[in-house]
Amino acid sequence: MQLSRDQLLHAYRQMRTIRAFEDRVHEEFSAGNIPGFVHLYAGEEASAVGFCMHLEDRDHIASTHRGHGHCIAKGCDVGAMMAEIFGKKEGLCGGKGGSMHIADLEKGMMGANGIVGGGPPLICGAALTAKTLGTGGVAIAFVGDGGSNQGTTLESYNLAKVWNLPAIFVIEDNGYAESTASSWSVAGSQVGRAAGFGMPGYEVDGHDFFAVHAVAREVIERARNGGGPSLVHVKFARYYGHFEGDAMTYRGKDEVPRLMAERDCIDLFRRRVTEAALLEPSELDAIDREVAELIDRATAEAKAAPMPSEADLLTDVYVSYH
């Protein structure tokens, strides 16, 4: 499928925004300006954007503890995201969720999740709702390689297949389940596991946006048309540690610089579209500047925003269904 010029520009802007957002959060957290715990998505942008470009507000996603990239790709407001990470009242969740629980239900972003394997059961519920109400919506769970062995994940595969749900499970294998190499902890491809549950399985190079986009289109269209669930194993690399403050002593000395130089998804995208004369370098440079300004503005506004007040502590505690 040939993407239009506008789609290519959108894809690049989204990936560049995620990268710039994560780099800034890294800087601010290192300076002691951000409370709580943070896990960064830099290096994995092609996965979130490649899938979410096919989605609408009626579609739902559930994330992992590494959720900023999924939020941005699903269309969440970058300024409100930054405010949330800084713990401010104007944040997406009123400053109460922070990085690991950031969510925006209006955009179909069901939330980052501090529970390993916590997302798959949620998207089964969203997919069942979409099927029951006939909305045509689909639901996607982004799951880390470490979370792929959780019972919650495996039971969700079974449930989605038995009920033929419009659900997609995206295993984002960034090379390490925390500090354990996924080549050891999650041996082999997830494609065979998908077959064990009777659903289609795919393995895709997560550094290649176009490969991810093509597979995402196929499985999402199948789900929308009643074809049931699929599993996609996306393989790539993360550039920062498992969490901010992780010394990454389990990685090779030159591993990250080498990966960034050889297989960076944004660089590969840029090279491909400019060499094919689909976009001009100047157009991409302009996006880089605009994104930098956006992140500068979001950060400044988040720092200046008010903290939640004492009265805010008792809001959002109970939900009334009357």
**Range 26-41 average pLDDT:** 95
Rounded to whole angstroms, what are the CA distances from 142 to 20, 99, 203, 218, 322? 21, 16, 14, 17, 33
User: What is residue 313's predicted lDDT score, i.e. its pLDDT?
Assistant: 81
Contacts of 121 (CB under 8 A, 6+ apart): 152, 155, 156
Alpha-carbon gap, residue 260 to 25, rounded angstroms? 19
First to last CA, the chain: 47
Residue with tokens 């300004």: 293
Q: What is the pLDDT of residues 256-309, one digit of tens each?
A: 889 899 999 999 999 999 999 999 999 999 999 999 999 999 999 999 999 999
Asked if residue 180 belongs to a domain, the reply is yes
Least confident of 62-71, 85-94, 127-136, 144-153: 144-153
Residue 146 has pLDDT above 90, yes or no: no
User: What is residue 186's predicted lDDT score, i.e. its pLDDT?
Assistant: 66
Identify which of 172, 112, 125, 183 has the alpha carbon closest to the alpha carbon of residue 147. Answer: 172
**Range 38-52 average pLDDT:** 97
**Range 225-245 average pLDDT:** 94
User: What is residue 1's predicted lDDT score, i.e. its pLDDT?
Assistant: 64
Q: What is the pLDDT of residues 58-117, one digit of tens each?
A: 999 999 999 999 999 999 999 999 999 999 999 999 999 999 999 999 999 999 998 999
Asked if residue 312 belongs to a domain, the reply is no
Residue 189 has pLDDT above 80, yes or no: no
Number of domains, the chain:
1
* 187 band by pLDDT with thresholds 50, 70 and 90: low
User: What is residue 209's predicted lDDT score, i.e. its pLDDT?
Assistant: 98
Asked if residue 311 belongs to a domain, the reply is no
User: What is residue 261's predicted lDDT score, i.e. its pLDDT?
Assistant: 92
Alpha-carbon gap, residue 25 to 71, rounded angstroms? 14
Q: What is the pLDDT of residues 48-60, one digit of tens each?
A: 999 999 999 999 9
Asked if residue 315 belongs to a domain, the reply is no
Alpha-carbon gap, residue 171 to 156, rounded angstroms? 13
Alpha-carbon gap, residue 26 to 38, rounded angstroms? 9
User: What is residue 253's predicted lDDT score, i.e. its pLDDT?
Assistant: 86
Residue with tokens 């955009």: 107
* 14 band by pLDDT with thresholds 50, 70 and 90: very high
Domain with 39 in it: 5-305
Asked if residue 118 belongs to a domain, the reply is yes
User: What is residue 104's predicted lDDT score, i.e. its pLDDT?
Assistant: 95
Asked if residue 322 belongs to a domain, the reply is no
**Range 177-206 average pLDDT:** 85
Average pLDDT, the chain: 94
User: What is residue 182's predicted lDDT score, i.e. its pLDDT?
Assistant: 76
Q: What is the pLDDT of residues 197-216, one digit of tens each?
A: 999 999 999 999 999 999 99
Asked if residue 36 belongs to a domain, the reply is yes
User: What is residue 188's predicted lDDT score, i.e. its pLDDT?
Assistant: 67
Report helix angle 5-30 to 78-85, nearest 10.
20
- % of the chain residues with pLDDT over 70: 98
CATH number for the domain including 269? 3.40.50.970
Task: Look up the pTM and report it.
Answer: 0.95
Identify which of 159, 5, 162, 127 has the alpha carbon closest to the alpha carbon of residue 55. Answer: 127
Asked if residue 52 belongs to a domain, the reply is yes
Residue 322 has pLDDT above 90, yes or no: no
